[in-house]
Each structure stands twice: as C-alpha cells, then as structure tokens.
Amino acid sequence: MSDQPTDGQDGFRISTSRGLAPWLASVGASLAFSTYQEGRVFFAGCDDGSRIVLFERLFDRAMGLAVDGDALYLGTLYQILRLSNALSDHEVWGEMQADRLYVPRVSWTTGDIDSHDLAIDRNGRVLFISTLYSCIATVSADHSFEPLWRPPFISRLAAEDRCHLDGLAMDGGVARTVSAVSRSDIADGWRDHRQDGGVLIDIESGEIMCEGLSMPHSPRWHDGKLYVLNSGAGEF
C-alpha cells in the first residue's frame, strides 16, 4: 500500500508507504539516499503535519553516502565530497523549515575509479570502495587514491573491475566486512557469476564469511549482527 506520490522539483514522483511519515516523526529522523542512474541525492523528512517533505540535488553518478557528526560525505563520478551543515542549533532554512543545510566544502578528485560504499573510520579517515580497482581506498593529497586493502584472491591492482567489490561494513569505527559479486581475478570476470557467485569477506583474516549470494551489496553491522542486501535474489 502506498500513499499519494510526492512530486519532485522537476516532475518525478515518489510513492511512500503510509507508515513512513509517522515513523520518521516518532523517531525524529530524516533519510538521505542516492541514486546513481539519475545522479540525485534525496533528503526525506516530515513536516509538522507528519507529511513527507522531499528535497533533492544533482551530482554526477551519486554513489556512497556517510555521515560523520555534522558532515556528510558523498562519492561521485570523479570526486569524494565533504558537505558541512551550515546551520547553527535551532536555526532553520527555507520554506520547508529544514534543520540541516549541507554545503560542499572539501573535495578530493579521484577520477573515475567507480567508488561505491563510503565510510568514516574511528580516526576520521575517509574510506571507500574503488570497485574499478577491487580495493578499499582512502583519499590522497597527491594521487587519485591510496589503496589500503584488497581481497586475497585479487592478484594485483588493475583498473579492471575484477570481482565487483562494492559494499563496506564498519563495526565500532573499524572496517570489518566487504561484499563482492564474485571471486574472479580477471577483468570483468564477475559478470559471469552474478547469479550465485557473491561473497562476504572478513577484512582482517581475508576469509570468506558467506558465499553463494546473488549481487550482494551494502553489508552493515548492527548490535553484533551482520545484515546484507542479497539484491539479485530480492532478499535482505
């Protein structure tokens, strides 16, 4: 069941379940999410009447999002961006009375390395998945990126998207788990294993935690449990 669609600024329409607005109001939360095919970042909250309020901005291939304090990090086609909240406590902005106004303040130019999941570790370091290079990386002042870790079955760094590494799960501010569509070590080899070649990998040991998945994505640790989107099978 869906509520009436919400009209966007340029005519797109989004339908929401009837319970979304009351739930957001009850927990005092808003949602931020990206869609790379449309190149959009959406912010969804609710007004005083518990109706969904939607705001969006365009970025080339908007991908991973991460929040760290009052800052929002975003991966795009060729940059990692840091957006800072420009509002002080109890200050609101615009007709929607928004309590956050994120403004781009810092950017790192990576080039097109197909960044996916993004996170901030406990030391404040920016981590992201470079799917093209099959590795976890961080930003660099002098290079496109600094590689930090790659799966044991990846023999070398190469711009070949060998296993389609895509998801990064943090636990206590430490990178703990990644997801990949396959264990391929050849260029674009993952494409032949999308149905059941997906794996979850323990970063510290390099061991396979789970296999036989279909296009796994977005692993997340919460309360000692690991959740993952098994997207090719339509499962969570």
Average pLDDT, the chain: 92
Number of H helices, E strands in the chain: 1, 19
- Express each pLDDT in 58-106 by its tens digit: 999 999 999 999 999 999 999 999 999 999 888 888 777 788 899 999 9
Percent of the chain past pLDDT 70, that is, above it, reads 94
User: Beta-strand (E) ranges in 36-183?
Assistant: 40-46, 52-58, 65-68, 71-75, 79-85, 102-109, 115-120, 126-130, 135-138, 146-149, 165-171, 174-180
Cα gap 69→40, rounded to integer Å: 22
Mean pLDDT computed over 185-208? 97
Q: DSSP letter string over 69-85?
A: TTEEEEE-SSEEEEEEE
Cα gap 21→143, rounded to integer Å: 44
Rounded to a whole number of angstroms, the CA Rg of the chain reads 19
pLDDT of residue 213: 98
Does residue 11 have a pLDDT over 80? no
- Express each pLDDT in 114-156 by its tens digit: 999 999 999 999 999 999 999 999 999 999 999 999 999 999 9
Cα gap 118→137, rounded to integer Å: 10
Considering the entire predicted model, what is its pTM? 0.90
For the sheet with 208-213, list strands across it.
Answer: 165-171, 174-180, 198-202, 208-213
Task: Enumerate the domain spans of the chain.
Answer: 110-233
With beta carbons less than 8 A apart as the criterion, state whether 168 and 219 touch. Answer: yes
Confidence of residue 49 (pLDDT cuts 50, 70, 90): low
